[in-house]
């Protein structure tokens, strides 16, 4: 059973401090609408700057989108990317990455992410060179001192997971753009994008406001700025200069959990929907919304820098589970420097800033002695002092992923999952690949395409998948007893059925979600079907086993009864009667067996007969 519980960390769990996030100032308010409707109407087309394509957000998905657009759009078309933070750190400066490996959270790129990067020429020779391959795992179960090592086979993982810091991935893509797409892609840091009019000029373009963030929020050395992810949503940076920008082509929002664009879409749709007559509402398409699940299984984490001993491999995911917490470590580089992550329940006394280093040490000694001895007192004190970091909560957007004819959303802003199964960045990068395919489908011979068709095509292909990804991932993270039914039992069933009937039953759902040949909704559908077949097989199996057992009991009871009759030994009366009772009871549940039980005496008959025989015996004596 413990092995199966270990699946929660089966896929690389790769975290660290979200160093790229910023601290919201006290006086910060959430800006909902920055430009009045009147101002939008007053915009004379001549006075507004125009551009061909805008990408909102310079995370992994945003940067790859800019590269994809540069590859797909005619060479004359310019792409502008905006991110509210400052430019990412230099991916090749080892001083940044090796000094404190616990500063950056690590992500694992699997088949989905690697294929997407490969498709746009950003994998081999670009991102791959900065990754560390993880070829297997070593897991410690509670009380286990040695741990169990397992190297993945090709059948388990088509490609090894490649690990690097999220910020390093961003740094590499940023540098790749500067090297290869100078003049095509314009990168703007310290600017926030706000949608103003999704249907500008009768749906021919989209109008956005570009706001320059104040230096207070985007310090030059953003590595110093840390805060919890929990504070990210709905918080916008305080801005000074703003300008309007008209986007004639695509506005691609890849703004992560901040969701500036998705929130604006939601507000616009809700307003439109609320203004409808109740009867109109019935026939109107469902409004766009962001489904925000309450986190009922919240975990927080603290990250540790660890140097693994020389006799440990440097290409494994080290993971341990204890009653109170889990610990998961991934290689930050190829020199044996790992970033270890201590995951605690939110209400754990240690899940606070400035906790007692002695208590932290005691817990580590108790639960993870093999990791504790790798951490010196100074590091322990630093970690104890750190604030905790939060994992993102489950969210998905839908039922469509576009607004108007020009705006499309992708990445974490559409589907946010906890990083247990390593799917966030991978699915975000896969979104970009699918948007590229949608463009290809509607592109003419001059490379021009109808944005209205492209955004709809993308939405058709990805909206259901995003929902499925979030719902399936959430099912795997339910608390307590619920988790037994939504996670543990399905994983056990899948493992057993896949082992004995691999041609019919696919591997467990965590494994299936990693396979890039499968859509997330396809995996969910397949698993639903398999579950029905599994339950049907188990039910008929139990039914047949029950029948065989009934027959066996009846047969034994008949034999025993015959023996009793012959020997007339009163001491057999009770067991024979009991067996006969069980047999008769089971037999009475099936018509057929009821037929065969006709010759059998009832329990009362057995006892009476034995009593009579005993009496007769006594009389004869």
Ligand X SMILES: Cc1cc2nc3c(=O)[nH]c(=O)nc-3n(C[C@H](O)[C@H](O)[C@H](O)COP(=O)(O)OP(=O)(O)OC[C@H]3O[C@@H](n4cnc5c(N)ncnc54)[C@H](O)[C@@H]3O)c2cc1C
Name the residues that contact ligand X, by CB under 6 A: 12, 14-15, 18, 56-62, 82-85, 105, 107-108, 166, 192-193, 229, 254-258, 260, 392, 411-412, 419, 422-426, 428
Between CA 204 and CA 248 the distance in angstroms is 7
Q: What is the DSSP letter of 19?
A: T
Nearer Cβ to ligand X (208/564): 208
Nearer Cβ to ligand X (61/510): 61
Q: Which two tokens stand for residue 188?
A: 């703007």
In the complex, the smallest distance separating the C-beta of residue 282 from ligand X, rounded to whole angstroms, is 35
Nearer Cβ to ligand X (111/404): 111
C-beta separation of 335 from 309 below 8 A: no
In the complex, the smallest distance separating the C-beta of residue 57 from ligand X, rounded to whole angstroms, is 3
In the complex, the smallest distance separating the C-beta of residue 545 from ligand X, rounded to whole angstroms, is 43
C-beta separation of 13 from 328 below 8 A: yes
Nearer Cβ to ligand X (113/249): 113
In the complex, the smallest distance separating the C-beta of residue 397 from ligand X, rounded to whole angstroms, is 12
Nearer Cβ to ligand X (127/564): 127
In the complex, the smallest distance separating the C-beta of residue 153 from ligand X, rounded to whole angstroms, is 21
Q: Which two tokens stand for residue 264?
A: 């604006």
In the complex, the smallest distance separating the C-beta of residue 322 from ligand X, rounded to whole angstroms, is 20
Between CA 155 and CA 507 the distance in angstroms is 11
In the complex, the smallest distance separating the C-beta of residue 555 from ligand X, rounded to whole angstroms, is 58
Nearer Cβ to ligand X (160/256): 256
Q: Is 163 exposed, middle or buried (0-12, 13-18, 19+ CB in 10 A)?
A: buried
As a three-state string, the secondary structure of 566-619 is HHCCHHHHHHHHHHHHHHHHHHCCCHHHHHHCCCCCCHHHHHHHHHHHHHHHHH
Nearer Cβ to ligand X (255/269): 255
Nearer Cβ to ligand X (423/579): 423
Q: Which two tokens stand for residue 80?
A: 């502008």
Q: Give the list of residues 6+ apart from residue 137 with CB closer than 8 angstroms, or none.
A: 149, 150, 152, 316, 317, 318, 319
Between CA 417 and CA 434 the distance in angstroms is 19
Nearest CA-CA partner of 16 in 310, 337, 323, 349: 337
In the complex, the smallest distance separating the C-beta of residue 247 from ligand X, rounded to whole angstroms, is 14
């Amino acid at each position: 059973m413990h092995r199966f519980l270990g699946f929660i960390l089966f896929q690389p769990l790769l975290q660290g401090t979200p160093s790229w996030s910023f601290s919201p100032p006290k006086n910060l308010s959430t800006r909902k609408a920055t430009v009045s409707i009147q101002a939008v109407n007053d915009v004379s087309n001549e006075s507004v700057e125009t551009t061909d394509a805008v990408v909102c957000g310079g995370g992994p998905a945003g940067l790859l989108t800019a590269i994809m657009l540069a590859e797909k759009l005619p060479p004359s078309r310019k792409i502008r990317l905006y991110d509210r933070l400052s430019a990412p750190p230099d991916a090749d400066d080892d001083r940044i990455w090796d000094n404190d490996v616990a500063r950056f959270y690590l992500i694992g790129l699997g088949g989905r992410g690697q294929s997407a990067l490969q498709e746009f020429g950003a994998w081999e020779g670009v991102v791959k060179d900065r990754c560390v391959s993880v070829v297997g795992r070593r897991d410690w179960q509670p009380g286990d001192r040695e741990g169990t090592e397992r190297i993945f086979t090709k059948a388990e993982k088509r490609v090894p997971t490649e690990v690097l810091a999220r910020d390093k991935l961003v740094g590499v893509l940023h540098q790749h753009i500067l090297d290869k797409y100078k003049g095509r892609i314009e990168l703007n840091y310290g600017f926030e994008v706000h949608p103003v009019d999704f249907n500008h000029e009768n749906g021919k373009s989209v109008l956005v406001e570009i706001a320059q963030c104040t230096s207070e929020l985007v310090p030059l050395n953003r590595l110093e700025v840390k805060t919890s992810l929990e504070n990210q949503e709905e918080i916008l940076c305080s801005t000074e200069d703003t300008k309007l920008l008209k986007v004639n082509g695509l506005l691609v929002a890849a703004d992560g959990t901040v969701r500036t664009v998705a929130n604006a879409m939601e507000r616009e749709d809700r307003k439109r929907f609320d203004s409808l007559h109740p009867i109109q509402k019935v026939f109107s398409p469902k409004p766009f919304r962001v489904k925000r699940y309450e986190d009922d299984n919240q975990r927080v984490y603290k990250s540790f820098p660890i140097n693994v001993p020389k006799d440990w491999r440097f290409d494994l995911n080290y993971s341990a589970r204890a009653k109170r917490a889990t610990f998961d470590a991934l290689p930050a580089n190829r020199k044996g420097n790992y970033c270890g992550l201590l995951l605690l329940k939110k209400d754990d006394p240690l899940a606070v800033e400035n906790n007692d280093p002695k208590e932290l040490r005691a817990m580590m000694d108790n639960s993870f002695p093999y990791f504790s001895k790798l951490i010196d007192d100074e590091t322990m004190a630093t970690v104890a002092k750190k604030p905790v970091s939060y994992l993102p909560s489950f969210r998905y957007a839908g039922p469509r992923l576009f607004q108007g004819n020009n705006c499309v959303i992708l990445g974490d802003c559409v589907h946010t999952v906890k990083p247990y199964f390593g799917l966030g960045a991978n699915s975000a990068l896969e979104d970009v690949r699918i948007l590229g395919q949608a463009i290809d489908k509607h592109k003419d011979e001059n490379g021009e395409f109808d944005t209205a068709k492209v955004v709809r095509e993308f939405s058709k292909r990805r909206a259901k998948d995003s929902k499925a990804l979030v719902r399936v991932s959430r099912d795997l993270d339910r608390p307590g007893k619920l988790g037994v039914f939504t996670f543990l039992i399905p994983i056990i069933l899948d493992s057993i059925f896949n082992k004995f009937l691999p041609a019919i039953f696919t591997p467990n759902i965590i494994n299936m979600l990693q396979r890039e040949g499968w859509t997330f909704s396809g995996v969910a559908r397949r698993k639903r079907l398999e579950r029905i077949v599994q339950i049907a097989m188990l039910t008929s199996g139990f039914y047949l086993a029950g029948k065989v057992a009934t027959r066996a009991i009846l047969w034994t009871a008949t034999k025993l009864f015959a023996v009793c009759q012959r020997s007339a030994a009163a001491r057999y009366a009770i067991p024979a009667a009991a067996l006969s009772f069980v047999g008769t009871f089971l037999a009475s549940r099936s018509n057929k067996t009821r037929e065969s039980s006709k010759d059998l005496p009832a329990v009362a008959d057995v006892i009476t007969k034995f009593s009579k025989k005993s009496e007769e015996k006594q009389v004869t004596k």
